[in-house]
Amino acid sequence: MKIGLYFGSFNPIHTGHLIIAQHLMNFAPLDRLWFVVSPQNPLKKSESLLNENHRKQLIDLAIEGETKLRSSNIEFKLPKPSFTSDTLAYLSDLYPNDQFSVIMGSDSFTNIKRWKNYDMILKSYEIYIFERPGFRVNSELLPKSVTVLKAPLLQISSTYIRKLIKENKSVRYLVPDIVLEEIIAQQYYR
């Protein structure tokens, strides 16, 4: 089975993440897509992170009923901070009959040379990049394992959503209704 791994903090998951996931399921040769919740990204500060189990639960609520999408807590079991190369190696050993690929934004791809074992990732795994404004990728210079997809993008971010919540402003339509209900009920990001 071909499984796309969409790594991220998902702090919280929002409509933009879901649009990208659906676009990849429509246009990339993937059988499944897993949202891999990163407990701690080594290139980001972690003080504003909601507990990883709560972030995973919000994803589960957002994708409830979707048969080809799932959340993954695989990095919860691995040493922190989370390194994509370690997660890929672990998953490849755990599921030897599946083929994993990495899904990332072009902003993340511009930093790939800062990633642990980035050259191994580029050689051993397919990578699907969705372009983000201001981070254009020259397809002609990429290895054959890398595909750039023109996904529909929304100019929203988890940072922006957290800011609105702190300011007691509405985030309706930025996150799925069921996610919004849980954020309000649990008073997340206050």
Query: Which tokens in the block code for residue 136?
Result: 């254009």
Residue type, 55: R
Predicted confidence band at 96 (pLDDT cuts at 50, 70, 90)? very high
**Distance from the Cα of residue 54 to its chain's centroid:** 15
- Which pLDDT belongs to residue 154? 85
Predicted confidence band at 30 (pLDDT cuts at 50, 70, 90)? very high
Q: Smallest Cα–Cα separation from 156: which of 42, 9, 12?
A: 12
Model confidence, pTM: 0.94
Cβ burial of 24 (10 Å; 0-12, 13-18, 19+) is buried
Pairing of strands 32-37, 99-105: unpaired
Q: Smallest Cα–Cα separation from 54: which of 8, 11, 7, 21?
A: 11
- 17 — phi, psi (to 5°)? -60, -45
Q: Is the pLDDT of residue 48 over 80?
A: no
- Which pLDDT belongs to residue 47? 66
CB atoms within 10 A of CB 149: 15
- Please give the Cα distance from 47 to 66 (Å, whole number): 31
> Which distant-in-sequence residues (6+ apart) come within 8 Å of 76 by Cβ?
37, 39, 52, 53
